[in-house]
A and B are shown apart, each in its own frame.
Chain A
Amino acid sequence: MITLSYSPLYCSTRNFQLPNPSLFANLYGGLAVTKRYPLRAAASLWDSMRSSFLNNNTSQLIEPLPDEEEEVPQEIVLVEKTQPDGTIEQLMFSSGGDVDVYDLQALCDKVGWPRRPPSKVAAALKNSYMVATLHSIRKSPDAEGNDQKELIGMARATSDHAFNATIWDVIVDPSYQGQGLGKALVEQLIRALLRRDIGNISLFADSKVVDFYKNLGFEPDPEGIKGMFWYPRY
């Protein structure tokens, strides 16, 4: 069985349309109103998100880190959309939550990754330094309706907590691809790692997604250094 433990990213790098201004207003307004985190953090996040929505793929996605320690929430609402029927859908990034392995299995099925024993997946997640997730949360218009939460993306990193981190298993639900969510996911993961002073962030990219990661600041074979695999089964 081939274990897809490198980082194939099932997120296309198609050019995206600039979202309509009313969505912008909704989004910014939504961020200001929820008050879960300081507005400054939201603003800088929004700036970096906005650049990923623009058609210009050469724009910088990650700003240089500010000098002072920025208070950073573990959960960030990336997008908020209001459906015609009044349902609100939030796409939320989280770096601290637990992942249900069966939710993850369903997600992996959607992108066509082979199944792995759930107990092993649970252990791998537990042993990961950081697990970042994207969830879609649908709130019904009536106040008493329960929120529907669905796992739509994930990325994780292993690390020695000091020098090196390696990103694995970056995945986005196909129906949510093409919106810059994969970029946001990896970007947030990188930020979190850099905040913890992990200087060396690496990954292994399928040939089809090398450009995706280049846009995020990754360099293939820096100084000729090559990724090598032990008896790969390809």
Chain B
Amino acid sequence: MLLQSISTSSISPSLRFKPPKPLKITSQLTPKFSISDADLQTRGFNLRRTFTDLNLDHLNTVFVSVGFPKRDPEKIKIALEHTDALLWIEYRKTKKPVAFARATGDGVFNAIIWDVVVDPSFQGIGLGKVLMERLVDELLEKRISNIVLYAEPRVLGFYRPLGFAADPDGIRGMVYSRRHQMRR
């Protein structure tokens, strides 16, 4: 925790016409992310932000391994092409994706985070957190203030420490269900 500050000392009248030195404060009070990019690297992972080198069949495998339905890779490609931000982690040893997250939205007001997955063999070491912290950070940099997601009950505890709150002010997430409609 380093705090450096360089400030101008009192200037004698004879030096008054010199422009004052700029006030410079650099602080490293808190790191931006809980696990740094460097840490991630040394542990054998690459952080990627585009899907150009992402093998969609491998991604599909990760989806299936956490219980998502298997999806048509062509449809996944379309979805990724219309995704505002995405992040994935590649395990250097196998060159395969082991974690993934993406966000869609209108690019200005709202962003919804989807498909946050970590390969079960790589869970518990902070990869999900790595992705989420950076994804939220990227969305905030774009000045998107409304960041939402849908969370299964068992992962509510994962999202809460990241800053997410369920049903704020009684707002409920709702999903359209054709079956639900037909039952009426």
- Contact surface of A with B, Cβ cutoff 8 Å: 3, 5-6, 58-62, 64, 116, 120-121, 123-125, 127-129, 156, 158-164, 166, 168, 190, 194, 200-207, 210, 213-214, 216-232, 234
B123, CB-defined interface residue at 8 Å = no
Residues of the B chain whose Cβ atoms lie less than 8 Å from the Cβ of A163: 71, 75, 79, 114
| Bound Cα distance from A158 to B82, whole angstroms | 10
Given contacts A58-B184, A229-B147, contact A160 B171 (CB under 8 A): no
Given contacts A168-B110, A226-B167, contact A202 B176 (CB under 8 A): yes
15 further A-B contacts with Cβ under 8 Å, apart from A123-B108, A160-B104, A230-B148, are A3-B145, A60-B184, A64-B178, A160-B83, A160-B114, A162-B76, A207-B170, A207-B172, A216-B181, A217-B177, A220-B173, A225-B150, A225-B153, A228-B159, A229-B148
A220 to B172, Cβ gap below 8 A?
yes
The 3 nearest A-B residue pairs measured at CB = A227-B173, A207-B170, A217-B181
Q: Of A3, A6, A121, A217, which is within 8 A of B178 by CB? A: A217
B106 to A168, Cβ gap below 8 A?
yes
Q: Of A58, A161, A218, which is within 8 A of B82 by CB? A: A161
Contact pattern, B 146-170, Cβ under 8 Å of A = 1, otherwise 0:
1111111100100100111111111
Residues of the B chain whose Cβ atoms lie less than 8 Å from the Cβ of A190: 176
Q: Of B76, B82, B164, B182, which is within 8 A of A228 by CB? A: B164
| Bound Cα distance from A218 to B174, whole angstroms | 6
State how many angstroms separate the Cβ of B138 from the closest Cβ of chain A. Answer: 13
How many interface residues does chain B have, given as a range?
A: 35 or more
B82 to A227, Cβ gap below 8 A?
no
B165 to A159, Cβ gap below 8 A?
no
Given contacts A228-B165, A230-B164, contact A60 B174 (CB under 8 A): no
| Bound Cα distance from A203 to B112, whole angstroms | 10
A204 to B106, Cβ gap below 8 A?
no
B78 to A227, Cβ gap below 8 A?
no
A124 to B106, Cβ gap below 8 A?
yes
B11, CB-defined interface residue at 8 Å = no
B107, CB-defined interface residue at 8 Å = yes
